[in-house]
Amino acid sequence: MKNKIYVLLVAVSLAFALTACTKEKSTDDDKVVKIAYLPITHSLAVLEEAEELEKEDGIKVELIKYGSWPELLDALNSDRVDGASVLIELAMKSKQEGIGIKAVALGHKDGNVLIVSNDIDSVEDLKGKNFAIPHRQSSHNILLNDALAKGGLTVDDINITELAPTEMPSALAAGTIDGYCVAEPFGAMGVSLGVGKVLYSSEELWENSLCCGLVLTDKFIEERPEEAKNFTERYKTAGANLDEEKAKEVAEKYLNQSDEVLDISLKWISYDELTITEDDYNTLAEKVKEYGLSDNPPEYEDFVKSDW
């Protein structure tokens, strides 16, 4: 008898578990939008959007945090997420390699700086020195090239090293590098620690520079077109709502950085007008070719989706 009751109990709980599973799965498929991000100020628009969508529309955005660009890219390129806030050059490279993705908006406007050690006074002083960027496929690499050109130098005159963003301020403090350019707030962190200063801000080097983009997978766009369109529109609205105060609130929640670092960093960036214009994209594509990031970047009409 005991055994019979036990079998019955197992059967009932199994049935219940299966129902719960099925229920959860259908909610997942219908409602959740999975977005990959790195905890940087450059991704605040998508973090703000997730908050707004859930509060106002009941649409759940599952934010998936990654520790590095290669890990995030791997998730995006294998359709494990519906989209990502990602360095646009990395996304362009993936597109070039045949991955089905589209850039639908900018991550931010401006918001990058070239940080150098306190004993460097001009870009010419960087000759023969060590300089860190996060990835060869980045606007940070382009901004470095632009800065060097101002002093009549090229990347052949310095030693470039790829470092994880979080390691850059301490590497500058230790003297293993003499400068760096990377997504924020790691530039602001160097300033806050007193180990470096701003040599150039991005707008001094490249007007209307592109850096990160909101990228969606073709799978998401094709299978859920209305949601993808709505998501893109709401993303731009969320960006427009991000004034310095609001941006700081979101950054405090997701970034785990000090007040001082955020105050310095958020003065350099804005999130309004996140549409990717053809002119700005073509300037980026030219720079990508000129500085050897890629010989064959995707065409605007193949890569940027604006015809919703």
One DSSP character per residue, 164-203 reads -GGGHHHHHHHTS-SEEE-STTHHHHHHHHTSEEEEEEHH
* Minimum CB–partner distance for residue 213 and Zn ion (Å): 8
Write the single-letter amino acid at 258.
S
What is the smallest separation between the CB atom of 184 and Zn ion, expressed in angstroms? 8
Which residues sit at the interface with Zn ion, rule CB under 5 A? Answer: 42, 211-212
SS3 of residue 197 by DSSP? strand
Q: Give the whole-angstrom CA distance, residue 44 versus residue 85.
A: 9
Query: Which CB sits closer to Zn ion, 212 or 293?
Result: 212
CB of 71 to Zn ion, least distance (A): 17
CB of residue 168 to Zn ion, shortest distance in Å: 15
Identity of the residue, 192 or 202, whose beta carbon is nearer to Zn ion in the bound complex: 202
43-62 burial by CB neighbour count: b if 16+ within 10 A, else e?
bbbbbbbbbbbeeeeebebe
Residue with smaller CB distance to Zn ion, 53 or 113: 113
Q: β-pairing, 159-162 with 130-133?
A: parallel
Nearer to Zn ion, 59 or 288 (CB): 288
Q: What is the dihedral of CA 280, 281, 283, 289, to 10 degrees?
A: 170
Q: How far is the CB of 263 from Zn ion (least distance, A)?
A: 19
CA 173 to centroid of chain Cα atoms: 25
Encoded amino acid at 263, one letter: D
**Nearest CB to Zn ion, comparing residues 46 and 59:** 46
